[in-house]
Structure 1
Amino acid sequence: MKQILCLSAQPWSTVPTRTQQLMTRLKNAKILFLNPPTRNYRKPGRKVRPGLTVYSMPPSPKAVEDKLVRLFRARRQIRYLLKLMDTYRFREPLLWCTAPEQVHLLDAIPHSGLVYDCGQDWLDSPPEWESELTLAADVVFAASAGLADHLSPCSDNIALLPNGVSYPMFSRTSAECPPALADVTGPVLGFTGTLWEDLDLTPVIQAARALPHCTFVFVGKREYNPRGRALESLPNVRILGRQLPVDIPDYLARFDVCLHLQRRSDYGGDIVPSRIYEYMASGKPIVAMVYPDQVEHFPDVIYAAHTPGEFIRLCVRALDEPAGWPAQRRRDHAAAAAWSLRAKQVVQILTANGLY
């Protein structure tokens, strides 16, 4: 059975991250999943499924560029990992890294192979860290073509591995109308996901004002957003907050159109968020804001708007979309992006490289 030591950039969550989705689907593997550093790292590990146990890394001072200094500063994390490996009899596991800052652990942790799964653009990390991690990795997975191109000078073994979707969950046809929407009679245009501080709400605010007969629904965690009050004050807008992941497909089933908005921090990026695949699995029309010169993903089945005015016009067009091939085409795109297939691709690539 393959041993995998996974250093995750995001904590284990009820809303599964990219790393969770992959780790839970790797068969014939014994996995230690390490959450990012926290002061509560002494808590016992949680066995979340057979062969997969979750722990948290201890905190350490911020790493610096000098290799010897950062190795010295990381000694508490290193001792913790080595003790954990000894407890579980991990000798030379496959080391799975997900963030550039994990590079300072490489020399001290025995491992039989190194994977770097790059799921985002690490603009806040020194570029030297990611370059060094990429150079050391036996295999690099990149969530987008842009990330693969960015990392290509440091590795000739990069595999494109976009985000995915729990397809059976989001494509199910049996759904119940959520109680919060039971009284809605007109068209529903909905957004699922976090209302980030830098999420551009202008297009949807203008759309809600222009389409008073429609209800605009937001499902997900809410952060402070400068335009949040303006959005919430509109009579045809409902902000429902975080819901159980298992209930999200029920909300999508009630949507007539799914909405995708842009974060300012996404400018210039080309990563397709899992939300898009979840929308496509439902088969519902999708209206998405895109930045100028941004590559349009799935232009055959997504209505891409560049301005708030165009966003409104495309919402109207999406509401009038006839039943037929577009819905099935979206489901086909989502089925091809199922996390089970992504994990199978990972195993095939690692096996071809003698790592699995």
Structure 2
Amino acid sequence: MRQILCLSNKPWSSTPGRTQQLISRLKDTQVLYFSPAAGPMDRSFREKGRKVRPNVTAYTLPPLLLPMEERYGGLFRLGQRKLGRFIAEQAARHRFRSPLLWTSSPEHIHLLDQLDYSGLVYDCDREWEDLPPIWEGSLANAADVVFVASPLLGERLSPCSPNIALLPNGVNFPLFSGETASLRSDPLPQASGPVLGWAGTIREDVDLSPLLYAARECPHWTFLLLGRREGNRLLPRLERQPNVVLAGPCSLDQVPDWLYRCDVLLNFLRDDRQDDGVVPTRVYEYLSTGKPVVSMLWPDQVERFPDVIYGAHDQQEFVTLCRHALEEAPGFVSQRRRDYGAQAAWPNRAREVSRILSTAGLL
């Protein structure tokens, strides 16, 4: 059984992200999963590892008192040695010997010299504008395989590594396709007209101005925002709109019920993700439902799925395409959308990872 040390930039969660989805599906492996502390007072690193899957044990790393910045010199290196010792101690306790090391952030470059491993993977699913480029360049250069979530990320890292493999995001297809989900009750019984919805964390950098414009232009439509709120500047104005519903967060298994209640599903842009070209997991979830999708695009951006997604470049076009989506004939391209979702299912993505790593002699 192959051993894997996974250094993730996110904690193990009941709402799994990319790293968690991939790692947990690699067959015949034993995985130690390490994620950062929640804050300087987080003491969960003192707890025993949690058995989160039959083959996966999750640990929280010790907190660092200083930010991840090299300008702190000796204190910075001291903090990295502390993390390295913790990982090495847990690996020894589980009798790991020269495991495969899976990294998900440029920050992990500082731990390589402290760990015993036989192969290195870097999985890049975003641009890291807030970190020094040399960190990511060095990590990609050291990696035996670099997975990238978009062609643009691959193009950016190509000078650093000849071993780049495209691995787009994926989706829990059975959950969102309707194979296991059914509308148990109407989550919006008060909505009589068309419902247009978004599902996901409403981060402060999500551009919701097209939604606000559409809500004012089309008062007989209901606009749904489903998910946790993180201080987006337009939320106070949206809260005052009578046809905007801020439903808040819900458990993952309830999200399909909300999506199936919508007539059209919406995707908006994030200001800090202009150049990575990554298709969000949210879009694959939308496609899996078969519902019409309207997505905002950057001025020069080309829609990745032009045959099944309506792509708008400005607010007026957004409203126009929402109208077209509402008028779409039932079943027009619904199955084609589901086919795209099925192709992006996480088991398929994990099989591709296994194939590439096996070909490279790493699994």
TM-score of Structure 1 vs Structure 2, range by shorter chain: over 0.9
Q: 1:259 aligns with which of 266, 288, 305?
A: 266
- What whole-Å deviation, never above 9, does each CA across 1:126-158 have from its counterpart, x for those lacking one? 111111101110000001001001110011010
Equivalence for 2:17: 17
Comparing 146-155 with 167-176, greater Cα deviation is found at: 167-176
Matched residues in 2 for 1:67 and 1:140: separation?
Answer: 29
2:7 counterpart of 1:4: no
Matched residues in 2 for 1:131 and 1:29: separation?
Answer: 28
Equivalence for 2:46: 42
Matched residues in 1 for 2:236 and 2:75: separation?
Answer: 47
2:65 counterpart of 1:58: no
Q: For 2:125, give the aligned amino acid.
A: G
- Number of residues paired by the alignment? 356
SS in 1 for 2:272: helix
Identity rate, percent: 49
Equivalence for 1:126: 132
Equivalence for 1:148: 154
Matched residues in 1 for 2:202 and 2:185: separation?
Answer: 20
Matched residues in 2 for 1:67 and 1:302: separation?
Answer: 49
Structure 1 runs of 4+ with >3 Å offset: 65-73, 177-180
Q: CA deviation at 1:102?
A: 0.5
Distance 1:71-1:161 versus aligned 2 partners, 3 A rule: same
Equivalence for 1:200: 207
Which segments of 5 or more consecutive residues in structure 2 lack a partner in the other structure? Answer: none
Q: CA deviation at 1:68?
A: 8.7
Matched residues in 2 for 1:296 and 1:276: separation?
Answer: 12
Q: How do residues 1-356 of structure 1 correspond to structure 2 at under 5 angstroms?
A: 1-38=1-38, 39-40=42-43, 41-60=45-64, 61=66, 62-64=68-70, 71-172=77-178, 174-176=181-183, 178-356=185-363
Distance 1:23-1:226 versus aligned 2 partners, 3 A rule: same
Root mean square deviation, CA, Å: 1.6
SS in 2 for 1:156: coil
TM-score normalised by structure 2 residue count: 0.94
8 Å contact from structure 1 (residues 195, 225) kept in 2: yes
8 Å contact from structure 1 (residues 37, 57) kept in 2: yes
- What whole-Å deviation, never above 9, does each CA across 1:247-300 have from its counterpart, x for those lacking one? 111111111000001111122230000000000000000001111001311011
Q: For 2:273, give the aligned amino acid.
A: D
Q: CA deviation at 1:63?
A: 4.4
Matched residues in 1 for 2:2 and 2:278: separation?
Answer: 30
Q: For 1:131, give the aligned amino acid.
A: G
8 Å contact from structure 1 (residues 201, 227) kept in 2: yes
